[in-house]
Amino acid sequence: MAGRGKTLGSAAAKKATSRSSKAGLQFPVGRIARFLKAGKYAERVGAGAPVYLAAVLEYLAAEVLELAGNAARDNKKTRIVPRHIQLAVRNDEELSKLLGDVTIANGGVMPNIHNLLLPKKAGSSKPSADDENDELSKLLGDLTIANGVVMPNIRNLLLSKKAGSSKPSADDE
C-alpha cells in the first residue's frame, strides 16, 4: 500500500512552518490574511496578497524605527519616544508626505523660527525699512490688520497700479 495515506515507518510528523518564516518576514502573514478576509475589502483574497502586505508593513516599520533611532541618538537618548518618531517622520520627505495628515500622540511640533524673527547677522549690511516692509507685505499678501480689522493692503494695491501704468501696453505701440 505504499504511496497512499500514512506510511507505517513515519511516526515523527513534519513540523509546520509559518507563512511568515517561509517568506522570511517578522510580521504575521497569517494574521494579516485573516484581517484581509474579515475586513471585507474584497470577496476573495489571493495567497500572495497578505505576504506582500506584510512585507510592505515590515519595511515601513523598519524605516521609521531606523530614523527614530537616529533621532534618539542625536538627542543622546537610548529609548525611542513618540517625539523621536515625530522628528523622524517629519524630517523625511517621503514619510512626511505619506503620514501628512497623521497626528502622533505626544509627538510635539517641529522646531521652526521664521527668518524675520532671527537676529540680524553682524557682518551684513542693514536692510532699509522698505525692504523689511516688502518682506512683510509678501507674507501678509494683500491683507493687513489695523485695529484688529483685516482690510486690503492699500499700499500694495497702489503700487501695483503704478507699476501697471508705467509699462507701455501692447495697444500703445
CA distance 120 to 131: 14
So where are the chain's domains? Answer: 19-98, 127-163
The percentage of the chain sitting over the pLDDT mark of 70, rounded to a whole number, equals: 64
Three-state SS at 150: strand
Nearest to 22 by CA among 12, 30, 14: 30
Q: Model confidence over 28-65: pLDDT tens digits?
A: 999 999 999 999 999 999 999 999 999 999 999 999 99
The topology under which CATH files domain 19-98 is: Histone, subunit A (1.10.20)
Q: Model confidence over 63-76: pLDDT tens digits?
A: 999 999 999 999 99
- C-alpha angle 149-152-155 in degrees, rounded to nearest 5: 120
- What end-to-end distance do the CA atoms of the chain give, in Å? 105
Among 74-83, 116-125, 148-157, the range with the most confident prediction by mean pLDDT is 74-83
**Residue 125 pLDDT exceeds 70:** no
